[in-house]
Amino acid sequence: MSKTEIKSTIKPSGLRYKTKAPGSPFAATGAFASGTMSCFLCGKHRPRASLQTKRLLGKTQFVCAPSCAEAQAAANSGGRR
């Protein structure tokens, strides 16, 4: 078994940077620049279509629709690909 070599360099400040795959786990999917947003209440990233707006603390915030608990249950039962 051979390991793939990870190239890294030590910066003058002492921090080490390892190479990583390019891109973001929150890549845009669709016409909007951001495919996901985080819920203001639970902090989980969800597709924009599964969020609704509510007025909280004097501002309009995005929250899970219909609730965070139901969205989590639906995500768990749906399974991941």
pLDDT in tens, 31-67: 555 678 889 989 888 888 888 999 988 999 999 988 8
Residue 13 has pLDDT above 80, yes or no: no
Higher pLDDT, 57 or 10: 57
* 36-52-59 Cα angle (round to 5): 100
Residue 4 located in a structural domain: no
Residue 77 located in a structural domain: yes
- Sole residue written with tokens 């891109």: 23
Rounded to two decimals, what is the model's pTM? 0.52
Residue ranges making up the domain that contains 81: 32-81
CB atoms within 10 A of CB 53: 11
How many distinct structural domains can be found in the chain?
A: 1
* Residue % of the chain over a pLDDT of 90: 12
DSSP, res 35: S
